[in-house]
């Protein structure tokens, strides 16, 4: 299945939308109703002109001088990013990191529910972690197909990440968040994002002064 067409909105813009949504949601929680591209820019370290340009891809949100209606913008961004619905996510790997992910409450209130967790270790299968029961890897394909799950997270050792990715892709997953510190190969129709804090730390050590 081809990826959704985005009407040529650059991926770098799509990548900033979650940051806008996060900042706007926080303002909303503070009881605020209106903000401006200047305020958002200050909070995010992005120029106000860039923010106005990014948001203009999705229609005119702000009137000159009156700023953005936060609730309207939040709803619009949630619709654009398709997080106005709950996504069910499959997690592979129920070790230290997998357990932390399962206990993290920050996914649910932002549109994502870890719905299944799989592991290959017989000692872990059947264990209850964060409200879920660890399923054997053998059940991955059927569970994903039956539920038409599109999103998965990988939290297995690096040397097993590719084989797990292959299983996920074969089962029909379209997007993988890989926590293992290794690049994985997937077909063009599948998206992969990586989380490796060491990459970010190394990016910064380059600039550190003695």
* Nearest distance, CB of residue 123 and ligand NAI, angstroms: 8
* Nearest distance, CB of residue 179 and ligand NAI, angstroms: 4
**Which residue stretch of 24-32, 42-50, 78-86, 150-158 sits at the interface with ligand NAI (rule: CB under 6 A)?**
150-158
- Whether the CB-CB separation of 91 and 168 falls below 8 Å is answered with no
Task: Output 58 or 194, the one with its CB closest to ligand NAI.
Answer: 194
Answer positive or negative: Cα dihedral of 202, 104, 28, 78: positive
Q: Does 130 bind ligand NAI (CB under 6 A)?
A: no
Residue 129 forms beta bridges with which residues?
132
E strand intervals along 8-84: 34-35, 68-69
Task: Output 156 or 186, the one with its CB closest to ligand NAI.
Answer: 156
Q: Does 124 bind ligand NAI (CB under 6 A)?
A: yes
Taking CA atoms, 47 is separated from 35, 41, 70, 100, 133, in Å, by 15, 5, 18, 35, 46
**Eight-state DSSP code of residue 5:** P
Hey, which residues between 158 and 177 contact ligand NAI (CB under 6 A)? 158, 160, 163-164
The distance in angstroms from the start CA to the end CA of the chain is: 51
- Whether the CB-CB separation of 190 and 177 falls below 8 Å is answered with no
Among 179, 184, 186, 190, contact with ligand NAI (rule: CB under 6 A): 179
Q: Does 101 bind ligand NAI (CB under 6 A)?
A: no
**Which residue stretch of 15-23, 37-45, 52-60, 152-160 sits at the interface with ligand NAI (rule: CB under 6 A)?**
152-160
Cα 14 to chain centroid, rounded: 12
Among 27, 90, 155, 165, contact with ligand NAI (rule: CB under 6 A): 155
Hey, which residues between 45 and 74 contact ligand NAI (CB under 6 A)? none
Among 55, 98, 135, 149, contact with ligand NAI (rule: CB under 6 A): 98
* Nearest distance, CB of residue 22 and ligand NAI, angstroms: 19
- Whether the CB-CB separation of 70 and 32 falls below 8 Å is answered with yes
Diameter of the chain measured on Cα atoms: 62
Residues that bind ligand NAI (CB under 6 A): 92-98, 118-121, 124, 137, 155-158, 160, 163-164, 179-181, 195-197
């Amino acid at each position: 299945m081809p990826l959704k067409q985005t009407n040529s909105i650059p991926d770098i813009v799509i990548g900033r939308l979650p940051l806008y949504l996060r900042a706007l949601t926080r303002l909303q929680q503070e009881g605020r109703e209106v903000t401006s591209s200047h305020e958002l820019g200050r909070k995010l370290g992005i120029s106000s002109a860039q923010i106005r340009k990014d948001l203009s891809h999705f229609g005119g949100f702000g009137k000159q001088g009156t700023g953005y209606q936060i609730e309207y913008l939040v709803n619009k961004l949630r619709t654009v990013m398709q997080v106005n619905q709950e996504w069910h996510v499959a997690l592979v790997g129920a070790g230290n990191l997998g357990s932390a992910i399962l206990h993290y409450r920050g996914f649910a209130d932002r549109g994502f529910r870890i719905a299944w967790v799989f592991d290959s270790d017989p000692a872990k299968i059947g264990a209850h972690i964060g409200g879920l029961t660890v399923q054997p890897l053998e059940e991955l394909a059927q569970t994903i197909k039956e539920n038409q799950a599109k999103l998965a997270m990988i939290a297995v050792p690096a040397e097993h990440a590719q084989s797990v990715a292959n299983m996920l892709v074969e089962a029909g997953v379209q997007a993988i968040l890989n926590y293992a510190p290794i690049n994985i190969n997937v077909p063009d129709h599948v998206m992969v994002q990586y989380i490796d804090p060491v990459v970010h730390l190394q990016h910064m050590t380059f600039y550190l002064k003695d």
